[in-house]
Amino acid sequence: MLTGVKMFLARGEETDIADNALLKWFRRRMRVTNDLHGHAFFVRTQSRRSGEVKLHATPLFLALVTIEIADVIFAVDSVPAVFAITTDAYVVYTSNIFAILGLRALYFALAAVIHRFAYLKQALAVLLVFIGGKVFAAPLLGIEKVPPAVSLSVTAAILATGVVWSLWRTRAEAGPPR
């Protein structure tokens, strides 16, 4: 719930990736080049001081590690949300795997039109508050959990509202229909 509120109130400032604690931690523990070297994750470069050839990671490797750690955090973070719907371990496990695989593919599909979804971040923030609020609301309402049909309906309504509002507000940027 706190993450949702924080997301909703954020002003959209750009984050400097160089200040990322994870990247700083990796840079302190391994040699990393400052330049990309094509598609290589590791390169051998000659030390300026000793002339010795040493293995260095590239920024591409750091990007891969960061993405994979984000995937693991997403999976761990989403387990309680799945358990709110089912306690079947198979469903929990497979839904997280498919969510990670699907989100990666969805990223590439949406990358070209993401500018049209200007209010999706706010819709996702409201959705996070709703999902977190369900945990507190169920005992207050005297029920074991919020019925899945209610959860899915509210989730669909929040996302649809965010998408439709975004498309309506950014319609001038899309240009005339072809």
Q: d(Cα 48, Cα 53) in Å, to the nearest integer?
A: 10
In the structure, what pLDDT confidence band is assigned to residue 155 with cuts at 50, 70 and 90?
A: very high
Q: d(Cα 74, Cα 162) in Å, to the nearest integer?
A: 22
Block residue for tokens 């040493």: 54
| Mean pLDDT, residues 78-90 | 79
CB atoms within 10 A of CB 112: 8
Q: Bigger pLDDT: 26 or 177?
A: 26
Q: Bigger pLDDT: 101 or 69?
A: 69
pTM of the predicted protein model: 0.58
The mean predicted confidence, pLDDT, of the chain is 83
pLDDT of 177 > 70? The answer is no
